[in-house]
Structure 1
């Protein structure tokens, strides 16, 4: 269906936003918590959710995939999918919304360097083959020498995402100005190492305040497209962020209703971009170029 990654230039509710999108998807969905600063979900929303009578503990999650990867490699096994499957946790009782919980300690981030390519293959298989939406919580951006930090950001995942959304809180001037500074760097990063600068879009969070920036102001300032906007319902956001007792009519909250409105168009955009990129890649393949050259030679021969 689509692989959509969310990031922010500041601490702007990326995890809460990613969770809202995952819970609002009408498709089966996998939320990969790849924030290198550490997992928030495992200590909040997921702490009261049980699987087979068990609660989530430190033996499950992204950090354990490094150990699983090396064990599989030593045994000559290339497929990481079974190991990833063993580290998924339900987000609710629907059976079709799962999460890969994140790190228990930020110092575990370096252990994932060799794991990213295999994990990306699993995420793409979940998307392409099983037709699930894949939503990636990429956390806060960290830069080094003008590029995304290779350890402190999940840059390989961002490079392969169909869409990368920079989350911007319209009511917070710091969020807007820091995002403005990051947008050019992200466009360059995705243009040189990812799926193109057009993979980048904005996802705005609006509280309805009269003092917040307008979407038109933000688009003009960033020269980037707003691909969606969520209504920041404080009660719903507090539950998705902290867990506990869900508020009544959570599914009808403005946050989840606006998330439902956003997920479909994002998926459609991601699929269009993937189709265009696939067509471009096929048109530039050696076999196609050879056929084009042969056709050109044949036409020149006929002309003579």
Structure 2
């Protein structure tokens, strides 16, 4: 089980595309699952790109923020995942390749401040206790949220 974070430089060229390609092509053994979490504080791209905004705001990190404030994070997490498994591949059972969509507007990032730690703990628990691997799309370095907290280079 692995938790892999992906981040990019200014403009995050290709981070989400790379993460999505890894999700859809990751070699899965029987019983294993892969989750891609769009944790880019500048907003997710998969809902508007690949999914053509067809799901509205029914899924995603913003909903987890609300659930965390109600003490319902763990249950809500699994309901926020979208199945991207290909029906063409008979070797895979349903729900093998899952997406946790990101926020739809960078203004929503501020509401996630207290939730990032809970999300990180959830990913650590998934890695340790289940047959899930997790890819995390952090977006670009220097952004507001988790990728914005990278330590700066030490001054000589």
Contact 1:89–1:99 (CA<8 Å) still a contact in 2? Answer: yes
DSSP 3-state at the match of 1:42: coil
Distance in 1, Cα, partners of 2:27 & 2:74? 24
Distance in 1, Cα, partners of 2:39 & 2:17? 13
Normalising by structure 2, we get a TM-score of: 0.81
Quick check: 1:26 aligned with 2:31? no
Question: Structure 1 residue 155: deviation in Å?
Answer: 4.2
Distance in 1, Cα, partners of 2:64 & 2:121? 13
Runs of 4 or more, structure 1, over 3 Å off, are none
Normalising by structure 1, we get a TM-score of: 0.43
Given the alignment, which residue of 77, 80, 93 partners 1:87?
80
Question: Structure 1 residue 124: deviation in Å?
Answer: 1.4
- The root-mean-square deviation of aligned C-alpha atoms, in Å, is 2.3
- Note the residue ranges of structure 1 that are not aligned, 5 or more in a row: 49-54, 143-148, 160-183, 189-304
Contact 1:37–1:105 (CA<8 Å) still a contact in 2? Answer: yes
Given the alignment, which residue of 138, 145, 156 partners 1:153?
145
Report what 1:138 is aligned to.
138
- Note the residue ranges of structure 2 that are not aligned, 5 or more in a row: 87-93
Contact 2:140–2:147 (CA<8 Å) still a contact in 1? Answer: no
Contact 1:63–1:108 (CA<8 Å) still a contact in 2? Answer: yes
Distance in 2, Cα, partners of 1:117 & 1:153? 11
Contact 1:46–1:91 (CA<8 Å) still a contact in 2? Answer: no
DSSP 3-state at the match of 2:76: helix
Aligned residues: 142
1:268-283 matches, within 5 Å, as none
Q: Which has the higher contact order (CA 8 A, sep 6+)?
A: 2
Point out the structure with the larger helix share: 1
Contact 2:139–2:147 (CA<8 Å) still a contact in 1? Answer: no
Distance in 1, Cα, partners of 2:132 & 2:51? 21
Contact 1:32–1:99 (CA<8 Å) still a contact in 2? Answer: yes
Question: Structure 1 residue 134: deviation in Å?
Answer: 0.5
Quick check: 1:65 aligned with 2:64? yes
Cα deviations by residue, 1:185-232 (Å, 9 ceiling, x for unpaired): 47x6xxxxxxxxxxxxxxxxxxxxxxxxxxxxxxxxxxxxxxxxxxxx
Report what 1:243 is aligned to.
none
